[in-house]
Chains A and B, each alone.
Chain A
Amino acid sequence: MFDKDELQKIAKEQKVYEASVEKVIAKRPERKESFTTLGGLPLKRTYTPVDIEEIDYSSEIGFPGEYPFTRGVQPTMYRGRFWTMRQYAGFATAEDSNRRYRYLLSQGTTGLSVAFDLPTQIGYDSDDPMAIGECGKVGVAIDSLADVEMLFDKIPLNKVSTSMTINSPAVILLAMYIAVAEKQGVPMSALSGTIQNDILKEYIARGTYIFPPRPSMRLVTDIFEFCSDNIPKWNSISISGYHIREAGSTAVQEVAFTLADGIAYIEAAIKSGQDPNIFGKRLSFFFNAHNDFLEEVAKYRAARKVWATIMKDRFGVTNKSAQTLRFHTQTAGCTLTAQQAENNIVRTAIQTMAAVCGGTQSLHTNSLDEALALPSDKAVQIALRTQQIVAYESGLTNVVDPFAGSYVIESLTKQIEYEVWKYIKTIDSLGGMMTAIEKGYPQREIQNAAYDYQKSIESEETIIVGVNKYYVDEDMSERQLLKVNEQVGVNQIKKLHLMKENRDNLRVKETLDAIRMSAQGDANLMPVILDAVRCYTTEGEICGVLREVFGEYKENVVL
């Protein structure tokens, strides 16, 4: 990137500098013997042009909106418009969540993000014995179309984009969303949003799987195909590193395992006869924003570059938009502390800046009280304001990719890229991500990283302010936290039973039979499931049939 003579001169001067540093250190040692990123990548004291001399600007960094998209997926980025401020929310009943969504929209969020409760995520109706105690706890309880109608009441689905965190039963919830839009008079083609639909990371890190990997992959690719044909503005998957990072991975592992999952999806879709130039345009990603600012900014840049290379070189994708890695970010829930919870506002602000400097397309900021419970209204408002302050006041949004050219950022970007490729090669040599998961490989790598991190906190090598340093005694028992009442489950079950009495149960049975037939064959499941949800067949009933046909996944416990 620099003139050869100039580089030699700098290298010479650097030697002089290093010599003088030795003298300083002899008198006043540095804080640590060696410095690394949070993920353990070695950090030098000072970076200079010499550290990035190997990088070719045009082919490796380039311009925003141009291959390999290191600098961002659009030419103007936030000078055009800000990222989508999308707060993940949902709790209790559809009525309660609908109220929270309308509050968030009134406060300036620009997209919705639905959190479902665990029974919904695992395909149980609220009256299932497995659902006891869980109804409405970590998200909204959805049993049938009736709940989804209430969830989006008075929210125009042609104007709002919606993200839904649903994986194993994604096909059912997407069908319900389409059916509600129909009732609002909005055709599928006008819908925009994202369905998470990323089953592989459920086996690796998040745990809300239902079926074994192979039929699950079929559901994923059925959604790809249906979206390509019918909902052109819909992101058919959100390939997620967020949960991998929350489970304790390093930044490198987060990117590597996510992109390796991506490769597995592309291979499966190609195998089912789809064209990556088409479905590739609607793949989206989801990353974590953790504490190490420099490493995070470099991480997003490296992820974009590696993905573009995979799409172009491995899959021969020529469509520019199918080469781009567009991503949502959430600040790191695992960095929030229960101790002196107000400090979490600051952590989230720094993480927000990292996500923005890394070029995210949308962002969720965590609330200060989330190490303790679901967030209160006030806490959610502060979290959203944090994004708005970074957007409007910080100045970071006025220049595209502001850290490009920083010796350390470019150097770290390159280093992360290198480490990510190493993991991808290892996974390829294991036979691809599905086999690697069956062998417990990514799970073990993540657990080792998580355990090392915990030990580094306990040895105080890693400092968490307010936890292992600057601790104060606080009485937290009086803190105002959002609590979901047990009555929510009782009411939801009543509502479900009443709905079942009033629907056409003969028609319901027919639709379930049709689903069983389709599942046993290999036709796309989306159309029959859409028919079923329209006549209020419940999620639990549909998943029940699919469980019969596909079986259930048994966890391969890795410790």
Chain B
Amino acid sequence: MDRKIRVVIAKPGLDGHDRGAKIIARAFRDAGMEVIYTGLRQTPEKIVATAIQEDADAIGISILSGAHEHCFKTIIDLLKEKEAEDIIVFGGGVIPESDYKMLEDYGTKSIFGPGTPTTVTIEWLKKAVAEKRSKESAI
């Protein structure tokens, strides 16, 4: 149970705003997690492949271009297709709150908007991964 949390931080789509992605990646790392940062312009296919290959607990998606609906949904669809839907999908960026519900209904576990302290996201992810792992060990 001591295995470190492994999280992929992904920048899907074409947008180059990676300040948030890099800050959260570093904050997760400083909090003792293993972080794989994909770099810019990753296709949903590549992101999902990375997450599976790296045996990640979660994928954190950062997107500011407005293409969030397409990116989140495609990633979640691909995870299902690869029977890897246990991987937690969460995200942040410039996403209107009115879209949160749509993304969450589709399978996104949480969206963290601008101004969220990194500590909030860290605590949330620790808890979410702990729940996921306890479910897995129960099987």
A477 at the interface (CB under 8 A from B): yes
Known: A133-B69, A338-B113. A372 touches B94 (CB 8 A): yes
As a 0/1 sequence over residues 33 to 70 of chain B, the CB contacts with chain A under 8 angstroms (1 = contact) are: 00101011101000000000000000000000111011
Contact across chains for B65 and A557 when beta carbons are under 8 A apart: no
Cα of A373 to Cα of B29 in the assembled complex, Å: 30
Q: Which A residues are in CB contact (< 8 Å) with B25?
A: 559
Q: Which B residues are in CB contact (< 8 Å) with A478?
A: 98
Cα of A484 to Cα of B98 in the assembled complex, Å: 14
Contact across chains for A464 and B39 when beta carbons are under 8 A apart: no
Q: Which B residues are in CB contact (< 8 Å) with A118?
A: 13-15, 65
B110 at the interface (CB under 8 A from A): no
Contact across chains for A207 and B13 when beta carbons are under 8 A apart: no
Q: Which of A134, A138, A458, A559 touches B117 (beta carbons < 8 Å)?
A: A458
Cα of A130 to Cα of B45 in the assembled complex, Å: 12
**Residues B47-97 near A (CB distance < 8 A):** 65-67, 69-71, 94, 96-97
Contact across chains for A371 and B94 when beta carbons are under 8 A apart: yes
Contact across chains for B37 and A464 when beta carbons are under 8 A apart: no
Contact across chains for A374 and B14 when beta carbons are under 8 A apart: no
What is the CB-to-nearest-CB distance from A142 to chain B, in angstroms, rounded to a whole number? Answer: 14
Contact across chains for A451 and B26 when beta carbons are under 8 A apart: yes
Q: Which A residues are in CB contact (< 8 Å) with B67?
A: 132-134, 137
Q: Which residue of A lies closest to B11 (CB)?
A: A207
Contact across chains for B98 and A555 when beta carbons are under 8 A apart: no
Q: Which B residues are in CB contact (< 8 Å) with A246?
A: 17, 19
Contact across chains for A133 and B70 when beta carbons are under 8 A apart: yes
What is the CB-to-nearest-CB distance from B67 to chain A, in angstroms, rounded to a whole number? Answer: 4
**Residues A319-363 near B (CB distance < 8 A):** 334, 337-339
Known: A247-B19, A447-B22, A454-B118. A119 touches B97 (CB 8 A): no
A278 at the interface (CB under 8 A from B): no
What is the CB-to-nearest-CB distance from A179 to chain B, in angstroms, rounded to a whole number? Answer: 26
Cα of A467 to Cα of B60 in the assembled complex, Å: 22
A450 at the interface (CB under 8 A from B): yes
B130 at the interface (CB under 8 A from A): no
Contact across chains for B96 and A337 when beta carbons are under 8 A apart: no
Known: A118-B15, A451-B26, A557-B37. A476 touches B118 (CB 8 A): no
B16 at the interface (CB under 8 A from A): yes
What is the CB-to-nearest-CB distance from A552 to chain B, in angstroms, rounded to a whole number? Answer: 10
A23 at the interface (CB under 8 A from B): no
Known: A118-B65, A137-B65, A138-B66. A248 touches B16 (CB 8 A): no
B31 at the interface (CB under 8 A from A): no
Known: A450-B22, A484-B66. A373 touches B96 (CB 8 A): yes
What is the CB-to-nearest-CB distance from A133 to chain B, in angstroms, rounded to a whole number? Answer: 3
As a 0/1 sequence over residues 448 to 482 of chain A, the CB contacts with chain B under 8 angstroms (1 = contact) are: 00110010011000001001100000001111010
**Residues A352-401 near B (CB distance < 8 A):** 371-374
Contact across chains for A555 and B39 when beta carbons are under 8 A apart: yes
**Residues A189-214 near B (CB distance < 8 A):** 202, 206-208
Cα of A483 to Cα of B96 in the assembled complex, Å: 9
Contact across chains for B16 and A134 when beta carbons are under 8 A apart: no
Cα of A96 to Cα of B23 in the assembled complex, Å: 35
Contact across chains for A458 and B119 when beta carbons are under 8 A apart: yes
Cα of A32 to Cα of B43 in the assembled complex, Å: 47
How big is chain A's contact interface, by range?
35 or more
Contact across chains for A338 and B14 when beta carbons are under 8 A apart: no
Q: Which of A202, A207, A338, A464 touches B15 (beta carbons < 8 Å)?
A: A207
Cα of A313 to Cα of B113 in the assembled complex, Å: 48
Contact across chains for A248 and B13 when beta carbons are under 8 A apart: no
A122 at the interface (CB under 8 A from B): yes
Q: Which A residues are in CB contact (< 8 Å) with B23?
A: 248, 450-451, 454
Q: Which A residues are in CB contact (< 8 Å) with B115?
A: 337-339, 464, 467
As a 0/1 sequence over residues 1 to 30 of chain B, the CB contacts with chain A under 8 angstroms (1 = contact) are: 000000000000111111100110111010
Contact across chains for A559 and B22 when beta carbons are under 8 A apart: yes
Contact across chains for A338 and B37 when beta carbons are under 8 A apart: no
**Residues A125-154 near B (CB distance < 8 A):** 130-134, 137-138
Cα of A248 to Cα of B96 in the assembled complex, Å: 23
Q: Which A residues are in CB contact (< 8 Å) with B100?
A: 477
Q: Which of A207, A476, A559 touches B40 (beta carbons < 8 Å)?
A: A207
Q: Which A residues are in CB contact (< 8 Å) with B16?
A: 202, 206-208
Q: Which residue of B lies closest to A131 (CB)?
A: B14
Q: Which A residues are in CB contact (< 8 Å) with B69?
A: 133, 486
What is the CB-to-nearest-CB distance from A209 to chain B, in angstroms, rounded to a whole number? Answer: 8
Contact across chains for B66 and A481 when beta carbons are under 8 A apart: no
Contact across chains for A477 and B97 when beta carbons are under 8 A apart: yes
What is the CB-to-nearest-CB distance from B94 to chain A, in angstroms, rounded to a whole number? Answer: 7
What is the CB-to-nearest-CB distance from A349 to chain B, in angstroms, rounded to a whole number? Answer: 20
Cα of A559 to Cα of B18 in the assembled complex, Å: 11
Cα of A508 to Cα of B15 in the assembled complex, Å: 30
As a 0/1 sequence over residues 83 to 126 of chain A, the CB contacts with chain B under 8 angstroms (1 = contact) are: 00000000000000000000000000000000000110110100
Cα of A258 to Cα of B67 in the assembled complex, Å: 30
Known: A133-B70, A337-B115. A207 touches B17 (CB 8 A): yes
Cα of A334 to Cα of B22 in the assembled complex, Å: 15
Contact across chains for A481 and B13 when beta carbons are under 8 A apart: no
Residues of A within 8 A of B (CB): 118-119, 121-122, 124, 130-134, 137-138, 202, 206-208, 246-248, 334, 337-339, 371-374, 447, 450-451, 454, 457-458, 464, 467-468, 476-479, 481, 483-484, 486, 555, 557, 559
- Residue pairs across A and B with Cβ atoms less than 8 A apart, 20 shown, are A118-B13, A124-B14, A130-B14, A130-B41, A133-B67, A206-B16, A207-B16, A208-B16, A248-B23, A338-B113, A371-B94, A372-B97, A372-B114, A373-B66, A451-B22, A454-B27, A454-B118, A486-B69, A557-B37, A559-B29
Residues of B within 8 A of A (CB): 13-19, 22-23, 25-27, 29, 35, 37, 39-41, 43, 65-67, 69-71, 94, 96-98, 100-101, 113-115, 117-119
Contacts A138-B15, A458-B119, A464-B115 aside, 20 further interface pairs with beta carbons under 8 A come to: A118-B13, A121-B14, A122-B41, A132-B70, A134-B14, A137-B67, A207-B15, A246-B19, A334-B19, A371-B114, A372-B94, A372-B96, A450-B23, A457-B117, A479-B96, A555-B39, A555-B40, A555-B41, A559-B25, A559-B37
